[in-house]
Structure 1
Amino acid sequence: MYVVRPVETADIPALESLAAVTMPGVHTLPRSRDKIELAVERSLASFAAQVDIPSEESYLFVLESLTERHPAERRICGTAAIFASAGSNGTYFSFRNDVIQQVSRDLNICHSVHALTLCSELTAYSQLSSFYADPAVQDGPEAALLSRSRLLYALQQPQRFGDRFFVPLAGVTDEAGESPFWNALGRKFFKMDFLDAERVIGGARNRTLIVELMPHYPVYVPLLPGDAQAVMGQIHPSGELAFNLLTAEGFEADEYIDIFDGGPILQAHKHALRTFNSSQTLRVRTGASTSREGQRLNYAISNNGSAGFRAITLACPDLDGVEAVALTPELQDLLRVAEGDSVTCVRI
């Protein structure tokens, strides 16, 4: 059994172990114990806060594996986070893909040029980040549950988040950690290697020196080396799972890319996302779901709490048009609900 819940202080050693795994496809997951402790403290404070307008809050969730025979044996096998407002203490910078029309009437020539423009349009969007799922759960519904739980929480707590969401995914790097995109562009202005830039300024994407040093005028893509052009908007192989889950949710790419490695930035209005436009609130009834062979669908089911948020997967018959969902006493305990309570359900 698996459950997604808010991070707890007791999870810090497990998070430290996860951070030791090489995860180039993960954005903004802290690596050092001090930063992990800070992220956990910030998350605990955010869940506990009374929020009317999204600001500096960040919410970190974990996917926990529970053994039915030995409930005390628990293992953290995934993380996912959501920031209430990107750039809340500054400005979030990205490159916008633009097309510039070049026209010469004298020569009767008209053509389009792909250009990158430094922009801050994603500032104040809510940002999904820190997604990591253990290889053991990547092929099952648990990975989708982990990714979607952040949006289920945002659905239930709309005052805590913006109306638009975005997700930066890590771009292509080689075995040595070098980024062709960075070497072709950012390195020329920052005078440092990609890994050094990621460590010093990369996570926030909102430091003043970015706008101080990055070019203010459009960057004409045809002038970049071929290897840099080839990786623009491409994801690191470790980010393919997250990309597939997010595009299935309703996120779209192609408009923005990351200013460091050229990785894609997916974005969407909340009403375009399946969690917001396809979820339903149902009443809990005690029982086991039954159906004929081949008619079971996977759903993400969450309680409607805040700091006590819980989400699980459930294989059951189609829930469209029903008023209640059958949950066993064990699943009710996992969700911290009782018969007659309401839960939010969305197909995964």
Structure 2
Amino acid sequence: MYVVRPVELADIPALEALAAVPMPGVHTLPKTREKIRAMVELSIASFAAQVDLPSEEGYLLVLESLDEKKIVGTAAMYAAAGSNGTYFSFRNDVIQQVSRDLNISHSVHALTLCSELTGYSQLSSFYVGEREHGTAEAALLSRARLMLAVVAPHRFADRFFVPLAGVTDSDGGSPFWDALGRKFFQMDFLDAERTIGGARNRTLIVELMPHYPVYVPLLPGDAQAAMGQIHPSGELAFNLLTAEGFEADDYIDIFDGGPILQAHKNSLRTFTGALQRRVSTSAEQPDRGREPQLRYAVSSGSEHDFRAVITHCPALDAQLSVALSVEVQEALHVAEGDTVICVRI
């Protein structure tokens, strides 16, 4: 059995091992022990805090194989992007240009530096091992972040976004960065990521990035082709998020041109399909040949001890309770009569 739970200090060595796996882009785990520890400590403090409005909190979840006692995945969510500044991105715009004298009218694709995603809750740091890639557990890990927001809506914004790593070459270069960012920062893509630390809320973004719209037709062909495209390693996350209800096309990352998916919570399947049920105990594993069984992601109803698993049970639409085995209850840290959140997978 797998469980998604908040990260603990004891997980730091496992996170270091995961961070050592080559992962393109910057929307993943930090690479140094100090930064990993800082991320873990922020998450622990955030879960423990009493929160009225989303601010600087960051929540890191891990996917653990209980049988192997091994961490095999991570997923994070930040309560309010740009809480200590402004979160910058490029907005895809269309500029209409008209000449009455020449009787010419045409539309031009342009990129405009904007801060419209500031204050949205940001999903990031999604990673699963090869064995879990494409499994229901990967879907559970991605969805668990939103289930946490269902349990504790006051901790998060009403809108969410997810930046995905853009296209890079075998040497880590970015055609989009080379065509645009390099001109203003005068450094390679990887150097910029290391120097700026992946932050999209730094003052130097305003100081150095162009303030006027960038006309896309003036960019080289490879840079245009890279806009809004994801690195192959991000396809799983993209598929899970679009199936959830996230949409692309409005924004791209200011560094590598990768897509930024965004959505209002009321358009996401986890929010619209979440069922609150009381726990009852199933005496034994149900006979699946006798009664149709559906697969559900089930999470505890506690914001301070949040946990989520996958289990099978009959359709819950007309039920007031959900029958969980003792094993599942122990994994969720719940008991009979407690409230859980159920979302069909």
TM-score bin (small chain): over 0.9
CA distance in 2, matches of 1:275, 1:206: 29
Contact 1:290 1:317 in 2 (8 A): no
Structure 2 counterpart SS, 1:135: coil
Q: Which residue of 2 aligns with 1:18?
A: 18
Question: TM-score normalised to the size of structure 1?
Answer: 0.96
CA distance in 1, matches of 2:26, 2:140: 17
Asked if 1:189 is matched to 2:184, the reply is yes
Asked if 1:337 is matched to 2:327, the reply is no
CA distance in 1, matches of 2:87, 2:31: 21
Q: Which residue of 1 aligns with 2:304?
A: 307
Q: Which residue of 2 aligns with 1:140?
A: 135
Cα distance, 1:292 vs structure 2: 2.9
State the Cα RMSD in Å: 1.2
Cα distance, 1:48 vs structure 2: 0.4
Contact 1:98 1:115 in 2 (8 A): yes
Cα distance, 1:289 vs structure 2: 3.8
Asked if 1:271 is matched to 2:266, the reply is yes
Cα distance, 1:296 vs structure 2: 3.1
Contact 2:26 2:198 in 1 (8 A): no
Question: TM-score normalised to the size of structure 2?
Answer: 0.97
Contact 1:167 1:266 in 2 (8 A): yes
Cα distance, 1:346 vs structure 2: 0.4
Comparing 170-179 and 295-304, the one that deviates more: 295-304
Q: Which residue of 2 aligns with 1:70?
A: none
Structure 2 counterpart SS, 1:255: strand
CA distance in 1, matches of 2:189, 2:105: 37
Contact 2:291 2:314 in 1 (8 A): no
Identity over aligned residues, as a percent? 73
Q: Which residue of 1 aligns with 2:96?
A: 101
Kindly report structure 1 stretches of 4+ aligned residues shifted beyond 4 Å. Answer: none
- Where does 1:74-153 land on structure 2 (aligned, <5 Å)? 74-153=69-148
Q: Which residue of 1 aligns with 2:278?
A: 283
CA distance in 1, matches of 2:254, 2:127: 22
Cα distance, 1:307 vs structure 2: 2.3
Asked if 1:214 is matched to 2:216, the reply is no
Q: Which residue of 1 aligns with 2:60?
A: 60
Contact 2:28 2:126 in 1 (8 A): no
Specify every segment of 5 or more residues in structure 2 that has no aligned partner in the other structure, as ranges.
none
Number of residue pairs the alignment of both structures matches: 343
CA distance in 1, matches of 2:108, 2:97: 7
Structure 1 counterpart SS, 2:131: helix
| Selected match of 2:316 from 315, 319, 325 | 319
| Selected match of 1:160 from 155, 176, 188 | 155
